[in-house]
Every structure is written in C-alpha cells, then in structure tokens.
Amino acid sequence: MSLPIPIEDFFEDIIAKAMRGHHISISELAEKTGVVDDVLQRLIRGEFCDEPALIKVAKALKLDPQALTMSASKVWSPRSVTLDGVAQFNTPYRDMRVNAFLIWDPDSNIGAAFDTGTDSSLITARATELGVTIEHIFLTHTHNDHIADLDRLKSNSGSPATWSNEAEPWPGTETFSEGKTFSIGALRVSTFTTSGHSPGGTTYYIEGLERPVAVAGDALFAGSMGGGICSFEDAWRNNRKKILTLPDETVICPGHGPMTSVGEEKRNNPFFAGEFRA
C-alpha cells in the first residue's frame, strides 16, 4: 500500500509566496505588522513560535489568519480521495515530487493522461492493467517537471492526441483555446485557462464520474497555490473565479501534493478561506 502524499507547502512557503506576490519585503512586513525582527525571521524560516505574531503577518499578507494558523500547527490535511476512474501518480523531480493523472470512463475504458510526471511508465502500466485505452494526453502547463516524460508516454500509449493551451503551445501538440470541450468515453471535459503560474496554465474539469474532477496543474494545491511566476494577481483571481466556484464536491487533482476538494479549499486554504468564510 502506497504512503499518503504529503502537503506540498508548509506555512513558511505560503508566507513566502504571499510576500513575493504582493511585493512586500521583510522590512516592509516588519513595518506593517510591528512584529520584532527575531520573531518575524523565525516565522519566515518556518518556526511557529508566536501565534499572535503569525496572525498579524497573515493579515498584512491578505491571508486568512485561522487557515494560516492551522497550516503552521499542522492540524489540517485534506481527506483522502478514492474515486473510480481516477489514478494519481507521484514521481520524484529534483528535490520535490510531481503528480500526473490517469482518468477514464469505467464503462468504456477510454481514458486520458494529464501531464506525465518523470516516469510515465507508471501511467501506461496502470492503463494496461485496467484495460484502459489512452486516447488523449492533456498538458496542464509546460514546465519541465510536468512534461518530462512526454515523448515516452506518447510512444508507449499509441501516440494519442496530445493537447496544450494555445497560450502555452508545445512542439508535437495540438492547441486549443479556453472553452474547448473534449470527451473521454462518456465523460465530458471542459477547459479553463488558469494562468498566472504559467502563461497558459489550464484546469480541466471532468464530469461524468461519481464526483466532478478538476485537474488543476500548478494553479492550486491542497492548502496553498502555485507560485504566481507570471502574475500572482492573475493566478489568485483565476483560482478564485474559475476553480473555487465549482461545486464543493469537486475533486481537485493538483500538480503537487495530495488531492483535495473545492469545499475543503474554500474552508482551509489561507489564500482563499477569508473570501468564503461567513
């Protein structure tokens, strides 16, 4: 039995992403919060040493204080998700791990791969075991950890149609614009451009399984979000408007870390919980 996939971002990672996103330096954060330098430096390093100080930091960075405190206390992780028609593959890349997914229609055994991870043989082996035919490969974005094994995946799965967002095209793929729909057997796939981490980051919304599924790439993680490399504002807004407005039961398949759900992220993600908490 495989071990649970750990949370991708600790509370110090969340603080660092918010500081970069809002262009706030350590000295500016100290001025905004009034937190003494030693305590602030320890929090930024990941030492949960002073809860009142952490709450001040959260407010200054537009993070939800309750959710950030839960992250720092390590008292929350998303409930484990098991869904017929969805398989997650978590492979090593440098000093981290990256996800890829196989999603299929259990009635027809028609499937699709979402990203490749660094060892796509796990995807094709599982497809063979299940008798699933991979008819599409969908890329959430083209950062190397997510497409590292694309050529082998295409070769070993019969060269299926391979897709990338027109805002982030990749050689050997067909491109699409936001709103394009696809079919995986009887499953319906809708596409949302969730840029910000990358120019054409895409969330694929799949309907037809027991629960809807959103394959989000690096747009959103359990309890965090991807780094807004291109635009933090776009990344935050797209997550808020295009992912977290989906039904609460929607399973989120992120590019890193464990699967989660829209409902859990609305309650527990420090970047967004304040927007949804009554």
Give the Cα separation of 260 and 224 in Å (integer): 11
CATH homologous superfamily, domain 86-276: Ribonuclease Z/Hydroxyacylglutathione hydrolase-like (3.60.15.10)
Yes or no: domain 11-73 corresponds to CATH 3.40.920.10:
no
Residue pLDDT, tens place only, 254-276: 999 999 999 999 999 999 999 98
Q: Pick out the chain residues at pLDDT < 70.
A: 1-2, 278
What's residue 3's pLDDT?
74
Same fold for the pair 11-73 and 86-276: no
What's residue 133's pLDDT?
98
Helix (H, G, I), strand (E, B) or coil at 182: strand
In the chain, where are the structural domains located? 11-73, 86-276
